[in-house]
């Protein structure tokens, strides 16, 4: 436990503030008091605290909307700080809503001092459990929690994993999480989009080319499998692989060795296979478009990712997560208004998490306010109509990438991660916008 932890009390009733202060001073806590949420932003620009005790109502209105809005603002200004909500107008629904949007506990006035202190001590003393790349899987829905448990179980094995789910649901992130939590984490993770490799180039791309193998092969080139050796190879869009190349892939999985194109030298292969698809592979097998023996080789363990529409309760959590990422890039303190979070939760997402993230990025970039409203999203949704607005969005994309590169001192991996895109996608966009390090 840290010495003299700092606790912030936000309540417009000074008597309440004083009574909590007296109670907490017995525990040697450092107490800070604010009388209104309007002072929150200025306070957090210069201070960090270990816990916040926040009243829910600061006006005649007893709905708790002001407190919930203040909760969102606090979370945008200091990520992961525990917030305990208090109110004299408690309802079960308000408590549920408060916890849903990030509060760690909820107390009705007057509270029992012993339980109140117990809760405060628990969250002050609690140290966050650090796992490898904890932000790969964002959400509290039961399906996501179960998914995370499966990932932890299978990561320590070398079993081949098949990740299935709709487009935009985060299959690549799951592959990254498996690698990062595996014993191969210090070795390469090589990602291959099989849908983007022409059938005639499959062997040269995957196995490599020996010098002189064909006209124009002036040097030996390493293939994807060799690059991934001792690490993990992620075969995305496995359902797009041509039937003639499925045989070649099956052979390498069976024999665990390969030859470069134009070479007779067998090279041993020690690699973890993770593949992904949004297609129904059993259906493709019945149609003669996918080999059943390859399917069973790839599908030792199947991880199914639910669509975003099947875990609606995670939408506010994801939305806030994406806004926090953008705040880090732009050094801002934007937050999502409570009605906006509810509006986002009620939308339909055919494009899944990718669509939600895109919506938030567009609204964030185009907004100049301290918070994002429903109107901001509606306006951002229409701005791509017409030639000039599209040009404007291109400029906004360029500015966003420039800011990320500057913030991360031109570290491509960190910049790409903060933008939610792959390294190769970032390189393409840098070329498109002619961005180079000065």
Question: 139 and 288 in one domain?
Answer: yes
In a domain? residue 24: yes
**Domain boundary residue among 125, 147, 181?**
125
**Domain boundary residue among 103, 125, 147?**
125
Q: How high is the pLDDT of residue 382?
A: 58
In a domain? residue 268: yes
pLDDT tens per residue across span 292-343: 999 999 999 999 999 999 999 999 989 998 998 888 777 788 889 889 999 9
Question: 324 and 236 in one domain?
Answer: no
Range of the domain at 326: 309-432
Helix axes 338-345, 374-382, angle to 10 degrees: 50
In a domain? residue 165: yes
Q: What is the DSSP string of 223-257?
A: -HHHHHTTSEEEEETGGGS-HHHHHHHHHHHHHSE
Question: 142 and 121 in one domain?
Answer: no
CATH code at position 396: 1.10.8.60
pLDDT tens per residue across span 158-204: 999 999 999 989 899 899 999 988 889 889 999 999 988 888 889 88
Strand partners, 58: none
Mean pLDDT score, 12-28? 83
User: Helix (H, G, I), strand (E, B), or coil: what is residue 131?
Assistant: coil
Integer Cα distance of 355 and 334 in angstroms: 20
Mean of per-residue pLDDT scores for the chain: 84
Question: 355 and 276 in one domain?
Answer: no
Question: 282 and 338 in one domain?
Answer: no
Question: 236 and 302 in one domain?
Answer: yes
Q: In the predicted model, is pLDDT for residue 139 greater than 60?
A: yes
In a domain? residue 1: no
Q: How high is the pLDDT of residue 8?
A: 93
Most confident segment among 81-95, 144-158, 384-398: 144-158
Burial class (CB in 10 A: 0-12, 13-18, 19+), 157: middle
Q: In the predicted model, is pLDDT for residue 63 greater than 80?
A: no
Question: 277 and 156 in one domain?
Answer: yes
pLDDT tens per residue across span 338-365: 899 999 999 999 999 989 998 998 888 8
Integer Cα distance of 197 and 240 in angstroms: 10
Going by the DSSP 8-state scheme, the letter that residue 314 receives in this structure is G
In a domain? residue 106: yes
SS3 content of the chain, % helix, strand, coil (to 5): 50, 15, 35
In a domain? residue 84: yes
In a domain? residue 48: yes
pLDDT tens per residue across span 99-117: 777 888 888 888 888 888 8
Question: 278 and 149 in one domain?
Answer: yes
Q: How high is the pLDDT of residue 160?
A: 94
The structural domain count of the chain equals 3
pTM of the model: 0.63
Q: How high is the pLDDT of residue 4?
A: 75
Mean pLDDT lowest among 89-98, 219-228, 380-389:
380-389
CATH code at position 188: 3.40.50.300
């Amino acid at each position: 436990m840290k010495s003299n932890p700092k606790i912030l009390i936000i309540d417009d009733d000074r008597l309440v503030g004083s009574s909590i202060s007296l109670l907490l001073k017995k525990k040697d806590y450092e107490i800070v008091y604010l009388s209104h949420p309007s002072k929150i932003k200025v306070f957090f620009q210069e201070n960090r605290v270990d816990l916040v005790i926040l009243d829910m109502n600061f006006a005649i209105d007893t709905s708790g909307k002001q407190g919930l809005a203040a909760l969102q603002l606090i979370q945008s200004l200091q990520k992961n700080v525990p917030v305990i909500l208090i109110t004299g107008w408690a309802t079960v629904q308000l408590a549920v809503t408060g916890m849903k949007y990030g509060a760690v506990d909820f107390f009705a006035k007057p509270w029992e001092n012993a339980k109140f202190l117990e809760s405060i001590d628990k969250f002050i003393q609690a140290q966050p459990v650090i796992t490898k790349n904890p932000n790969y899987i964002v959400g509290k829905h039961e399906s996501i929690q179960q998914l995370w448990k499966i990932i932890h179980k299978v990561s320590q094995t070398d079993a081949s994993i098949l990740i299935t789910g709709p487009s935009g649901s985060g299959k690549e992130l799951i592959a990254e999480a498996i690698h990062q939590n595996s014993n191969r984490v210090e070795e390469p993770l090589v990602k291959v989009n099989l849908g983007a490799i022409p059938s005639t180039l499959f062997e040269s791309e995957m196995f490599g080319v020996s010098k002189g193998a064909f006209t124009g092969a002036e040097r030996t080139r390493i293939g994807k499998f060799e690059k991934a050796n001792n690490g993990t190879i992620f075969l995305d869009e496995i359902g797009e692989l041509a039937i003639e190349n499925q045989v070649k892939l099956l052979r390498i999985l069976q024999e665990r060795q390969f030859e470069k194109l134009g070479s007779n030298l067998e090279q041993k292969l020690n690699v973890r296979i993770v593949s992904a698809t949004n297609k129904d592979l059993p259906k493709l097998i019945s149609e003669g478009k996918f080999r059943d023996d390859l399917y069973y080789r790839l599908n030792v363990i199947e991880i199914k990712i639910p669509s975003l529409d099947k875990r609606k309760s995670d939408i506010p959590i994801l939305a806030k997560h994406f806004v926090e990422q953008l705040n880090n890039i732009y050094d801002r303190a934007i937050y999502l208004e409570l009605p906006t979070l509810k509006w986002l939760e009620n939308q339909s997402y055919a494009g899944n998490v990718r669509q939600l993230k895109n919506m938030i990025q567009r609204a964030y970039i185009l907004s100049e306010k301290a918070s994002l409203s429903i109107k901001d999203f509606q306006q951002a949704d229409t701005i791509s109509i017409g030639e000039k607005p599209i040009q404007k969005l291109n400029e906004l994309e360029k500015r966003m990438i420039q800011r990320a590169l500057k913030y991360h001192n031109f570290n491509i991996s960190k910049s790409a991660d903060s933008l939610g895109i792959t390294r190769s996608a970032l390189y393409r966009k840098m070329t498109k916008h002619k961005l180079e390090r000065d």
